Amino acid sequence: MGETITPATHHNHLRLRRLGIDTYRQPVVYMHRDCLICRSEGFAAQARVKLQLHGREIIATLNVIDSGLLQLDEAGLSNWAWQALGASEGEVLTVSHPDELISLGGVRAKLFGETLEQPEWSAIIGDIAAGRYSDIQLAAFVSACAAGHMSVAETISLTRAMVEAGSRMHWEQRPIADKHCIGGLPGNRTSLIIVPIIAAAGLTMPKTSSRAITSPAGTADTMEVLAPVTHDLASMRRIVEREGACIIWGGSVALSPADDALISVERPLDIDSPAQLVASVISKKVAAGSTHAIIDIPVGSTAKVRSHIAARNLGDLLEQVGLALGISVQTVFTDGLQPVGRGIGPALEARDVLAVLCREHDAPLDLRERSLQLAGSLLEFCRATHVGSGYAEAAKLLDSGKAMEKFLGICEAQGGFSEPPGASFTHTVESAEAGRIVAVGNRRLARLAKLAGAPRAPAAGIDLHVACWERVEKGSPLFTLHAQTPGELQYVLNAIEAGLDVFTLERD
């Protein structure tokens, strides 16, 4: 009395045609309404469909074509699905009903408040990593985890499942240093300074970073202005073996692959529960083979973590889960009130990073200080030496030019260093009145920088001329907009004219 249907295979083949539709991470298959498979399988729009090509297999959502876009014997794929299957024009795709998604029962159980065991977490995360969950199902899983019933033990199981679902790097040497920042502050590109300092000190630091999802630049976007960041695991290993460190895009290596799928629904929902945040961070560190990780938690009213109690709780959970997964975690709480450095946007942030590494006299002090503090803590943490010695060593490596030398070595190993590009169009916004700046809107700054074209246009963004608590006169320059096209520049100006203020001014 089997449940599986094995359909006649001759019905289930369609010729692939490239449509060039980008749906971000959503695998979509396009089939004509009157094609034999839709008719005989009873497939309707939004059905989940199993696709097979070249021995690879993915589950996609069906969109049904009612027009001449496709012939009856053709199928189209979204770009993501096309790439996942390694498809080429005219190849023959096999289409069938997907197997039942058994692990979804665990999601419902979690939603109803039950406690899941390791095998259930592993089944869910395994299916997610294999792309078997639709966006709706991912959203239900994220919601179930956020609904407040995740014990520490379950968070550990979830993290372990996320590690097991992907590749994992092993290194001969120890310790392996790592660093992470719980986001939310524009311009906070300390990684690009910390990594070369740590490597210059002789430690190993295989750093993977993310691209921007809702921000004007991720660490990977900023690094990409200076050197290539897309590398596979073998290439990553070569870079780290040569230079002791790398700064590459995490999306190009399959470390904790379920995490990218989860993030793609967490962002639009603005749900980022502690359990999932911790599982995401720790799983990537463990998969990268790290043994010691410093985690920077900026605390501020417009940062991601808004109170010291929340920061303390999150820090405890990070350390406990890290311990269970065999990695030493130390958390550092930093000031999250305003952006770090002056530039916001890939090239402008890269410029700040280079200014610090090259010890330019006008390099942003806050970016230098944060980087040295964190690098110092990481050095002490990895070597178990006394507090205070790390900062001095980090400062020495930076000021002697050794960190910059190491940074150029890393860039070289990743494919070669480039100077950051300049923007074609700029406009400086001046203060309409005199007074003192008493607050900076991190989220509004990010929004303006994105409207100007960041991170898609690397040179686009915002260059700040003032900081919190500074006095400004009427006509003082507040910030300069950078854009690649006059249309985009005008677009940001319209937004500002319409009332998108960035600074809160206390008038004299």
Query: How far, in whole angstroms, is CA 129 from its chain's centroid?
Result: 16
Contact range with its own copies by CB under 8 A, out of 62-70, 156-164, 336-344, 346-354: 62-70
- Residue 416 interacting with its own copies (CB under 8 A): no
Minimal CA–CA distance to 236: which of 170, 188, 296, 190? Answer: 170
Q: If you search the block for the tokens 């311990």, which residue do you land on?
A: 323
- Out of 58, 123, 124, 139, point to the residue binding its own copies (CB under 8 A): 139
Query: Judged by CB under 8 A, does residue 64 bind its own copies?
Result: yes
Q: Which one-letter DSSP state was computed for residue 7?
A: -
Cis status, amide bond into 119, omega within 30 of 0: no
Among 92, 102, 269, 392, binds its own copies (CB under 8 A): 269
Determine if 55 is a binding residue for its own copies (CB under 8 A). Answer: no
Of residues 23 and 320, the one with the C-beta less far from its own copies? 23
Report the nearest approach of its own copies to the CB of residue 337 (Å).
Answer: 17
The tokens describing 93, both together, are: 């795709």
- Binder among 14, 138, 192, 347 for its own copies (CB under 8 A): 138
Q: Quote the CA–CA distance of 106 and 63 in Å, as a whole number.
A: 28
Catalytic residue chosen out of the listed positions 272, 296, 352, 366: 272
249 binds its own copies (CB under 8 A): no
Among 163, 413, 451, 472, binds its own copies (CB under 8 A): 451
The residue within the footprint of its own copies, chosen from 211, 231, 237, 450 (CB under 8 A), is 450
CA 409 from centroid of its chain's CA atoms: 24
Do 293 and 301 touch, CB atoms closer than 8 A? Answer: no
DSSP label at residue 340: S
The answer to whether 215 and 186 are in contact (CB under 8 A) is: yes
Q: How far apart are CA 29 and CA 176, in angstroms?
A: 42
Tokens of residue 89, six digits: 């024009």
For residue 414, the minimal CB distance to its own copies (Å) is 25
In terms of CB distance, is 105 or 416 closer to its own copies?
105
Which residue, 158 or 332, has its beta carbon nearer to its own copies?
158
Residue 243 — φ and ψ, nearest 5°? -110, -10
Q: Which amino acid is at 81?
A: A
Closest CA to 371 of 135, 201, 503, 188: 188
Q: Does residue 468 belong to the site contacting its own copies (CB under 8 A)?
A: no
Site membership for its own copies, residue 494 (CB under 8 A) = yes
Q: Measured from the CB of residue 20, what is the shortest distance to its own copies in angstroms?
A: 3
- Applying CB under 8 A, among 5, 326, 386, 507 the residue interacting with its own copies is 5
Applying CB under 8 A, among 46, 71, 400, 418 the residue interacting with its own copies is 46
Q: Which stretch binds its own copies (CB under 8 A): 162-170, 251-259, 354-362, 448-456?
A: 448-456
Largest CA distance in the chain: 83
- Based on CB atoms, which residue is closest to its own copies, 125 or 246? 125
Q: Find the binder of its own copies among 73, 91, 135, 316 (CB under 8 A).
A: 135
Residues 6 or more apart whose Cβ sits within 8 Å of residue 494: none
CA-to-CA separations, 290 to 251, 295, 391, 465, in angstroms, rounded: 18, 13, 21, 38
**Non-local CB neighbours of 279 within 8 Å, separated by 6+ positions:** 155, 158, 159, 162, 259, 321
The CB-of-14 to its own copies minimum distance in angstroms stands at 15
Minimum CB–partner distance for residue 63 and its own copies (Å) = 5
Tokens, residue 411: 């860039």
N-to-C CA span, the chain: 83
Clarify whether 272 is annotated catalytic.
yes
For residues 134 and 166, the answer to whether their CB atoms sit within 8 Å is no
Which H or E run contains 360? Answer: none
Question: Whose Cβ is closer to its own copies: residue 82's or residue 407's?
Answer: 82
234 binds its own copies (CB under 8 A): no
Interface of this chain with its own copies, residues 142 to 171, rule: CB under 8 A: 142-144, 146-148
Identified binder of its own copies from the candidate list 137, 159, 331, 373, rule CB under 8 A: 137
Which residue, 174 or 443, has its beta carbon nearer to its own copies?
Answer: 443
Q: Does 20 bind its own copies (CB under 8 A)?
A: yes
Q: How far is the CB of 75 from its own copies (least distance, A)?
A: 13
| Residue 33 within binding range of its own copies, rule CB under 8 A | yes
Own/partner pairs, 104-107, CB within 8 angstroms, 24+ separation: 104/137, 107/137, 107/140, 107/141, 107/144
Structure tokens at 214: 């809702």
User: Can you tell me which of 75, 77, 78, 85 binds its own copies, judged by CB under 8 A?
Assistant: 78
How far apart are CB 166 and its own copies at their closest, in Å? Answer: 23
Q: How far is the CB of 486 from its own copies (least distance, A)?
A: 10
CB of 58 to its own copies, least distance (A): 17
Q: According to CB under 8 A, which residues from 79 to 108 bind its own copies?
A: 79, 104, 108
User: Distance (Å, rounded) from C-alpha 59 to C-alpha 81?
Assistant: 9
Is 112 a residue that touches its own copies (CB under 8 A)? yes
Residues labelled catalytic: 272
